[in-house]
Amino acid sequence: MPSTSRSPARAADPVSLPVKRRLEAPVRGLLRLVLLLAGLSLLVRPGAARQAAIASAHPLATAAGFETLAAGGNLFDAAVTVSAVLAVVQPESSGLGGGGFWLLRRADGRVSMIDGRERAPLAASADMYLDAAGRPIPRRSLDGPLAAGIPGEPAALALIARRYGRLPLARSLAPAIRLARDGFVVDEAYRRYAGFRRRAIAASPGAAAQFLDHGEVPAAGWRLRQPDLARTLERLAAEGRDGFYAGKTARLLVAGVRAAGGIWTGRDLAEYRAVERAPIRVDYAGLRVFSAAPPSSGGVALAEMLHMLDRFDLDALTAVQRKHLLIEVMRRAYRDRARFLGDPDQVAIPLKRLLDPAYANSLIRDLSFGAAGRSRPLPPDPSGKGLDTTHFSMADSEGNAVAATLSINYGFGSGFVPPGTGVLLNDEMDDFSMRPGVPNVYGLVGGRANAIAPGRRMLSSMSPTLVETPKGLGVLGTPGGSRIITMVLLGILDIAAGEGPDHWVRRRRFHHQYLPDEVQYEPGAFSAQELRGLRLLGHRLRPLDDTYGDMQAVWRAKGGHLEAASDPRGSGAAQVKTIRVSTSPSDGP
Ligand code: DON
């Protein structure tokens, strides 16, 4: 497995060696001086000219990432910090009770994916959200402990720290622990989602005590303190993954879930593993794109769409034809998403075929520039607004980069906190297809490949993405449920057109996901002429009242110059900074 350079402080330590005992005192003094100077230069050198860019959905997370870099951490340590701080300061979006995908790129160009996706409890069954007549029971896969998959984020953070980091996990988690313990002032997004999910939160005494103010949505200026979460983070910091999946935390989680009607067992937690996987790689128009592999559908769908687009000369098309083509490739990729994709460890995915550029020919065989296609019901299977969920992008001048999308699914997840843990559980079970043809909360349908099964990871749309071009490296991603993949596609096309990150995050967006058969679009996404043209072709156009997405993006030009941009639809923070190492990495939290 990959390893990174060790911390300067740790590199210097082993020299306090057996040899020392045999040396004369003056020589020893000289040696100490030399070692001290060497150690100091090692400490200072990495920070001297290094720059980093971080774009995250919360200013406190971006600031904490830089804090870890200044403490001597590498970009992957900073990714652990940003993830953990987002878990504390954006509880409506992600957390220790949820999961995510981290795409890690090392300066030498190697890219890997850490899969910290939740999985179904071992006692889960295909029809657990259906009534006796086979109808979905409203809200069962969304609210309360029965909606929660086994969390993956704590295991992923421990794995990233161990395999890729330079600092001890405890050091990288220190800012999150501090913010959970001392608190921070909640923002408008928190208050909005707390209002939206108040009923589910109020039903859980643990969640209500933590996130509401005497049962009500807190007023502006309210400080959220999460002492139980701070202690859970401390156990993770001290013991690594066992600090969460075994011992006291595991006992509290299982007891809390079961007392409230959930089905978790200690074995669910003990057996959970974050998995390192190869990302999906696709070449398009001189770009090399890396994105999330199954159990995310993002990379495969992006690959299919880019391969289809590659069959056309986009510059030769009119504006209407171009939008029409994009809608039609979206339609086709989401059909395959629904039919073929699921947990790669449990279902057979015809990955080789789907990723073959030649496969795109068969997908576009019926694509006409004279009329919109039709989304028919899927063959019988024999077998919101979008600021919840979160993404961050980072890169340094040396060429390391991280794109990570993290989620507890719906705003404030399941709304359930097992007492004593401070851990808000996800409702990611809703991402399974609970019955062929029955849409989930994002309107997505699926079949057997994404049916509920014990220990299975539910299919995701989260698509952290890296784009290498002859001019540099783009890092991007966003929340937004089913619309994530099409947002990233539009961003990739902007990169191909030579646009910078500010453009990717600001651009107006549109989306088609096969079913429902409609084009959803933000105000301003189409000109009046495009709307007329698309309507004439037979597209059903559904204007959205509001914008969607919260993209966080970074660009690293070939020479090392960095830019960062945060979606104006959210309240994130994007910054480029020169890193000056101020603290020894061995300093504890
Ligand atoms: O994994 C997925 O695809 C979803 N659970 C992501 C949810 C999401 O992006 C919510 N944001 N609007």
Sequence ranges of the domains in the chain: 58-589
Listed residue (55, 66, 60, 65) closest to 89, CA to CA: 60
State if residue 462 touches ligand 1 by the CB under 6 angstroms criterion. Answer: yes
Between the CA of 480 and the centroid of ligand 1 the distance, in Å, is 6
Instruction: Work out the average pLDDT over 261-290.
Output: 98
State if residue 513 touches ligand 1 by the CB under 6 angstroms criterion. Answer: no
State if residue 228 touches ligand 1 by the CB under 6 angstroms criterion. Answer: no
pLDDT of residue 176 exceeding 90, the answer is yes
Residue 75, both tokens: 């970009």
pLDDT at 378: 76
The angle subtended at Cα 494 by Cα 490 and Cα 497, nearest 5°, is 140
Strands (E), 229-274: none
Across the chain, mean pLDDT equals 91
Instruction: Work out the average pLDDT over 283-297.
Output: 98
Residue 443, both tokens: 């309107």
Min mean pLDDT across 13-17, 53-57, 322-326, 492-496 is at 13-17
Beta bridge partners of 136: 130
218/201 Cα distance (integer angstroms): 13
Listed residue (163, 157, 178, 149) closest to 240, CA to CA: 157
Edge-first strand listing for the sheet containing 552-557: 280-284, 287-291, 465-469, 472-476, 552-557, 562-566
Task: Give the closest residue (by CA) to ligand 1 atom 8.
Answer: 481
Listed residue (281, 357, 356, 306) closest to 110, CA to CA: 281
Between the CA of 43 and the centroid of ligand 1 the distance, in Å, is 40
State if residue 427 touches ligand 1 by the CB under 6 angstroms criterion. Answer: no
Instruction: Work out the average pLDDT over 136-145.
Output: 96
Active site residue 389: yes
Which listed residue (62, 389, 469, 547) is catalytic? 389
State if residue 390 touches ligand 1 by the CB under 6 angstroms criterion. Answer: no
Task: Give the closest residue (by CA) to ligand 1 atom 12.
Answer: 386
Q: Give the orientation angle of helix 484-496 with respect to helix 298-309, to 10 degrees.
A: 40
Count of CB atoms situated within 10 Å of the CB of 328: 23
State if residue 409 touches ligand 1 by the CB under 6 angstroms criterion. Answer: yes
Between the CA of 280 and the centroid of ligand 1 the distance, in Å, is 19
Task: Dump pLDDT digits (tens) for 411-470.
Answer: 999 999 999 999 999 999 999 999 888 899 988 989 899 999 999 999 999 999 999 999
pLDDT grade for 386, boundaries at 50, 70 and 90: low
Task: Give the closest residue (by CA) to ligand 1 atom 10.
Answer: 481
Between the CA of 378 and the centroid of ligand 1 the distance, in Å, is 23
State the residue for tokens 């974050």.
Answer: 274
pLDDT at 447: 87
pLDDT of residue 36 exceeding 70, the answer is no
pLDDT of residue 398 exceeding 60, the answer is yes
Strands (E), 6-133: 51-56, 99-105, 111-116
Min mean pLDDT across 264-273, 290-299, 336-345, 580-589 is at 580-589
pLDDT at 13: 26
Residue 558, both tokens: 């070939």
389/462 Cα distance (integer angstroms): 9
Query: Model pTM?
Result: 0.91
Instruction: Work out the average pLDDT over 212-220.
Output: 98
pLDDT of residue 366 exceeding 90, the answer is yes
pLDDT at 78: 98
pLDDT at 582: 78
Between the CA of 137 and the centroid of ligand 1 the distance, in Å, is 21
